[in-house]
Amino acid sequence: MATCSSKTALLPRISLSNLSSTSRSTTSLIPFSNSSYSSKSLKLSNSRSSSIIVTNVFKTLDSSDISVSKNRKLEATYADIKPTILVSEKLGEAGLQVLRSVANVDCSYNLSPEELCTKISLCDALIVRSGTKVTREVFEAAKGRLKVVGRAGVGIDNVDLQAATEFGCLVVNAPTANTVAAAEHGIALISSMARNVAQADASMKAGKWERTKYVGVSLVGKTLAVMGFGKVGSEVARRAKGLGMHVVAHDPYAPADRARAIGVDLVSFDEAISTADFISLHMPLTPTTSKILNDENFAKMKKGVRIVNVARGGVIDEDALVRALDSGIVAQAALDVFTVEPPPKDSKLVQHANVTVTPHLGASTKEAQEGVAIEIAEAVVGALGGELAATAVNAPMVPAEVLSELAPYVVLAEKLGRLAVQLVAGGSGIKSVKVVYTSSRDPNDLDTRLLRAMITKGIIEPISDTFVNLVNADFTAKQKGLRITEERVMVDSSSGSPIDSIQVQIANVDSKFASALSDNGQIIVKGKVKYGIAHLTCLGSFSVDVSLEGSIILCRQVDQPGMIGTVGTILGESNVNVSFMSVGRTGLRKQAIMAIGVDEEPSKETLKKIGEVPAIEEFVFLDL
């Protein structure tokens, strides 16, 4: 790690203002920017988990306003313009109320793809269930206004996540509120399939009384293979155990202790499907799971197996299932989900005598729909207010406690990025940036994704018109050919702070302020958080101590008496208010770096006058 030269000495900072950490506010963009919303306070709190409260709709996170609240009481005060939220599928009333308290809510159901694309450019958020396809075209049509897509449920296979990420649009879902409903529906399908409930009901309604035709099979003692041992899968397993079934599960990512706790054996895919009397599917639809039950795998199953699917239709090759039903490998199937929804009216699968179907009802209980509606409404409103959603699907999930702790470092990270890029001659051509974090914590316990995103934002935004947020930071960096590497260095510290210092190094560029270059020719800026305020502590080989607020003029000069007065007078005569000055020098009467904090941007003439002071060797104005 490159460091400030040890030969430099630090002079005490000359504070020209009250720099008390509590009275000052520092602002940083997080996680959304480029919005036209004016700022007012949006306060969210959460009874289930504490949440960050961020003032300023979309635009700025004011670290002085971050607070954590435990009572879920929504008090939202938006200024002149409210955000607009499009709800494109039926959502529970309680969720709509949450949305209406802070936003204009447009409930427009059954939109065609074209109608959705037309409406979306006027919306800041979109809430969908599984019936709306949120395609790349939707994000393109949004023209940058769409900030959040909320999926009122679990499966996000109807949202183009890659496109969302590229457009910097956060996708959040409501992953927990419908778990029990889906599990109960799975159990209902297993039971009704085993006892031919649907077929017998239809037969009686047709005037028949067919007692011998509908003899069923018992569940007790039978083996159930749960494929996908996540939230729904494990609830199905728990209930099936209660019915006296022997339960095995296959899930490459499930922890063994969770299975053990429920009394379930985790087995390989082949063992699960070849030993089961009942197979219940509970995995997401992904490229890996698409058509995972196909001709080849049906051939491995016990003859007379029964299949249940409340996950996603696409995980079964439906034509192969029809063949397996016709050949008798599969005795019965009970399906809630289909590759195409609704399936064609003449679908052989739906019409098959041994198949029981329901129209994607897994999550459709009153209780689940109210729960999902509230869960998604709170997540979307929180995200619009700058809160980092705990259910984000395409951005790092940062727990509220971690965010609270990291907030001042988030400010520091962005400011160091902005500062470093402004020191590059020409401002562009940056190919690689190295970030070094020193911390007393084990490097593995340090989640720096948020900080890296803010450094990226600080570097990219001053030199391009791209807006960067936590969602698209890595993607944008890659797009611009910017390679960001990170190093975490452990240091001894008893401060308890998560981070001791952050250093940003830019290699292979020229600097417009040569003093920012280290001995090995890299631009180096390093900072710390002191009393909650971001400080620049090192520039090139110089130790400095500059509070990173407002704008800064950096001067390298010959260390001699009167410099502070001379420059202060020039600024004063131009009516530029100085907030602080700080001087670091290499040695008595040698070279010094003077950092001057200014509230207003000095005119070109004023800066020229500073440059003309004979002892000043170079200077740069940096807008933070």
Ligand X SMILES: NC(=O)c1ccc[n+]([C@@H]2O[C@H](COP(=O)([O-])OP(=O)(O)OC[C@H]3O[C@@H](n4cnc5c(N)ncnc54)[C@H](O)[C@@H]3O)[C@@H](O)[C@H]2O)c1
Structure tokens belonging to residue 17:
């203002």
Judged by CB under 6 A, which of 129, 352, 452, 556 binds ligand 3PG?
A: 129
In the list ligand 3PG, ligand X, none, the entry touching 233 (Cβ below 5 to 8 angstroms by class) is ligand X
Lookup: tokens for 195: 């006892």
CA 101 to CA 97: how far, in whole Å? 6
We find the least distance from the C-beta atom of residue 208 to ligand X, in angstroms, to be 31
**254 binds, options ligand 3PG, ligand X, none, Cβ within 5 to 8 A by partner type:** ligand X
Q: Does 153 bind ligand 3PG (CB under 6 A)?
A: yes
The angle formed by the CA atoms of residues 126, 175 and 105, to the nearest 5 degrees, is: 25
* Residue carrying structure tokens 């039971």: 191
310 binds ligand X (CB under 6 A): yes
Residues 450, 433, 32, 41: is their CA dihedral positive or negative? positive
282 contributes a contact to ligand 3PG by CB under 6 A: no
Q: Counting contacts by CB under 6 A, is residue 360 touching ligand X?
A: yes
Q: Which two tokens stand for residue 445?
A: 């316990």
Torsion of CA 96, 99, 100, 103, to 10 degrees: -150
Residue 258 binds ligand X, judged by CB under 6 A? no
Query: For the chain, what's the residue count?
Result: 624
CB of 177 to ligand 3PG, least distance (A): 9
Residue 364 or 440 having the CB closest to ligand 3PG: 364
Work out which of 178, 469, 541, 606 binds ligand 3PG, going by CB under 6 A: 178
Residue among 54, 127, 177, 337 that touches ligand X (CB under 6 A): 337
The active-site residue, picked from 115, 210, 341, 573, is 341
Contact 65, 54 (CB under 8 A): yes
Give yes or no for residue 154 binding ligand 3PG (CB under 6 A): yes
Which segment (136-144, 360-368, 532-540, 556-564) binds ligand 3PG by CB under 6 A?
Answer: 360-368
| Residue the block writes with tokens 């500059």 | 546
Query: Which residue is closest to ligand X by CB?
Result: 230
Smallest gap, in angstroms, from Cβ of residue 123 to ligand X?
Answer: 24
305-309 and 278-281 as β-strands: parallel, antiparallel, unpaired? parallel
341 is catalytic: yes
Among 83, 168, 228, 314, binds ligand X (CB under 6 A): 228
Contact flag: residue 180 with ligand 3PG (CB under 6 A) = no
Beta-strand relationship, 330-335 and 305-309? parallel
CB of 235 to ligand X, least distance (A): 8
The residue among 309 and 579 lying less far from ligand X, judged by its C-beta, is 309
- Residue 534's nearest CA partner among 5, 28, 4 is 28
Both tokens assigned to 206: 């047709």
User: Is 312 annotated in the active site?
Assistant: yes
Decide whether 362 or 498 has the Cβ nearer to ligand 3PG. Answer: 362
Q: In 380-442, at which residue ranges do the beta strands (DSSP E only) sit?
A: 432-439
Does the active-site annotation cover 115?
A: no
- Sequence-distant (6+) residues with CB within 8 A of 451 are 406, 409, 410, 413, 435, 437, 499, 502
Q: Strand pairing of 148-151 and 125-128? A: parallel
Contact 169, 471 (CB under 8 A): yes
> Is residue 92 near ligand 3PG by the rule CB under 6 A?
no
Q: Look-up: residue for tokens 């089961």?
A: 276
Rounded CA-CA distance 535/419 in Å is 12
Give which of ligand 3PG, ligand X, none residue 232 binds (C-beta under 5 to 8 Å, depending on kind).
ligand X
Which one of the listed residues 239, 246, 352, 360 is annotated catalytic? 360
Name the residues that contact ligand X, by CB under 6 A. 154-155, 175, 178-179, 182, 227-233, 250-254, 282-285, 288-289, 310-312, 336-337, 360, 362-363
| Catalytic residue IDs | 312, 341, 360
The site for ligand 3PG (CB under 6 A) is made up of: 129-131, 152-155, 178, 360, 362-364
